[in-house]
């Protein structure tokens, strides 16, 4: 019987290797804001991976620092994971550049302000400034997602993608989150055109019936739209228009800082 040589350099594209990495990611995905720490058995269930395999993979991920084991044997995402993500990702740089500007916008409009990017058919919120005094409800959190068609950031971002990309997104199932969520492709197509034309997106009650979102695109150094900046206001007549100039001004400030390629001081002192 021939000895089995497990040579990685020879294993190109074989299912076991791919499934190992994707299983490791599924284990990391088992954690979220509602489940910041989990026993291994719960990780196995949530990740849909056999318990013994989960035990071993969790052990490996703990050894690498990507997961941490608490004194109660529960497991959580490790600080090493945050460090690897924070040292160099484009999202983090964008966030660092945008935050001081968002602070200023937030101080001026006194409503929830958000920074988001498009990830597939969803909007991923990179940052959210919330205020005790804000009038509108807002269910987003930092690192949370919403479907693109339900939020102003989504419209602002999708409006600046290619027609092909737009049609692909419009042909998928569009979830009805509230009675006011627009899911008709023709109406969304019209709203995308309007968003491009007037330079901002406004969405009324699509996520929460009492809230409206207003979003503008942020352009990167090469004029590509890299993110959306949004403000949540009460879903009432005449609340959108007053925040649009502040949003447009702030988005231009962030664009200028991105072009200058440096992170400004956190605030003028």
When the beta carbons of 60 and 194 are compared against its own copies, the nearer one is 60
Count of residues touching its own copies (by CB under 8 A): 78
Alpha carbons within 13 angstroms on the beta-carbon side of residue 180 total 13
Interface residue with its own copies among 40, 44, 77, 150 (CB under 8 A) is 77
Read off the tokens for 37: 């720490």
When the beta carbons of 20 and 241 are compared against its own copies, the nearer one is 20
How far is Cα 146 from Cα 116, in angstroms, rounded to an integer?
A: 10
Q: What is the footprint of its own copies within residues 113-152 (CB under 8 A)? A: 117, 119, 124, 126, 129-134, 142-144
Q: How would you list the strands of the sheet with 75-77, edge to edge?
A: 37-38, 75-77, 67-69
How far is Cα 256 from Cα 127, in angstroms, rounded to an integer?
A: 19
Q: What is the footprint of its own copies within residues 207-236 (CB under 8 A)? A: none
Q: Report which of 241, 69, 210, 215 is spatially closest to residue 134, judged by C-alpha positions.
A: 210
How far is Cα 183 from Cα 62, in angstroms, rounded to an integer?
A: 43
Interface residue with its own copies among 42, 45, 60, 180 (CB under 8 A) is 60
Residues in Cβ contact with 169 at an 8 Å cutoff, skipping those fewer than 6 apart: 121, 148, 149, 158
Interface residue with its own copies among 42, 43, 47, 64 (CB under 8 A) is 64
Q: In this chain, which stretch among 104-112, 150-158, 160-168, 172-180 interacts with its own copies, using CB under 8 A? A: 104-112
Residues in Cβ contact with 131 at an 8 Å cutoff, skipping those fewer than 6 apart: 106, 110, 111, 112
Q: In this chain, which stretch among 9-17, 186-194, 230-238, 241-249 interacts with its own copies, using CB under 8 A? A: 9-17
Residues in Cβ contact with 157 at an 8 Å cutoff, skipping those fewer than 6 apart: 116, 117, 118, 123, 148, 217, 225, 227, 228
Contact between 16 and its own copies by CB under 8 A: the answer reads yes
Interface residue with its own copies among 72, 186, 237, 265 (CB under 8 A) is 265
When the beta carbons of 238 and 268 are compared against its own copies, the nearer one is 268
Interface residue with its own copies among 173, 197, 238, 268 (CB under 8 A) is 268
When the beta carbons of 70 and 238 are compared against its own copies, the nearer one is 70
Q: What is the footprint of its own copies within residues 243-262 (CB under 8 A)? A: none
How far is Cα 247 from Cα 156, in angstroms, rounded to an integer?
A: 12
When the beta carbons of 38 and 188 are compared against its own copies, the nearer one is 38
Q: How far is the CB of 185 from its own copies (least distance, A)?
A: 27
When the beta carbons of 179 and 224 are compared against its own copies, the nearer one is 224
Q: What is the footprint of its own copies within residues 18-47 (CB under 8 A)? A: 18-22, 24-25, 28-29, 31-33, 35-37
Spell out the alpha helix ranges (H) of the chain. 15-29, 40-47, 51-63, 79-86, 90-109, 152-158, 163-171, 185-198, 244-260
Q: How far is the CB of 245 from its own copies (least distance, A)?
A: 20
């Amino acid at each position: 019987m021939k000895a089995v040589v497990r040579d990685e350099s020879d294993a190109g594209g074989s299912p076991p290797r791919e499934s190992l990495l994707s299983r490791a990611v599924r284990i990391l995905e088992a954690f979220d804001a509602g489940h910041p720490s989990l026993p291994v058995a719960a990780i196995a269930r949530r990740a849909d991976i056999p318990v013994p395999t989960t035990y071993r993979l969790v052990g490996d991920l703990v050894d690498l620092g990507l997961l941490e084991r608490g004194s109660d044997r529960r497991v959580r995402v490790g600080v090493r994971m945050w460090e690897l993500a924070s040292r160099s990702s484009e999202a983090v740089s964008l966030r660092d550049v945008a935050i001081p500007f968002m602070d200023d916008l937030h101080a001026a409009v006194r409503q929830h302000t958000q920074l988001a990017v498009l990830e597939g058919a969803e909007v991923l919120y990179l940052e959210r400034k919330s205020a005790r005094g804000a009038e509108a409800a807002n269910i987003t959190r930092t690192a949370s997602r919403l479907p693109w068609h339900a939020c102003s950031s989504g419209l602002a971002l999708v409006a600046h993608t290619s027609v092909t990309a737009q049609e692909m997104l419009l042909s998928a199932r569009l979830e009805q989150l509230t009675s006011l969520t627009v899911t008709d492709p023709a109406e969304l197509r019209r709203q995308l055109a309007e968003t491009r034309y007037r330079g901002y997106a406004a969405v009324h009650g699509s996520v929460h019936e009492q809230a409206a979102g207003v979003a503008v695109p942020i352009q990167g150094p090469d004029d590509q739209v890299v993110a959306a900046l949004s403000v949540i206001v009460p879903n009432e007549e005449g609340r959108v228009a007053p925040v649009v100039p502040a949003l447009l001004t702030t988005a231009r400030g962030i664009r200028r800082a991105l072009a200058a390629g440096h992170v400004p001081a956190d605030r003028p002192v």
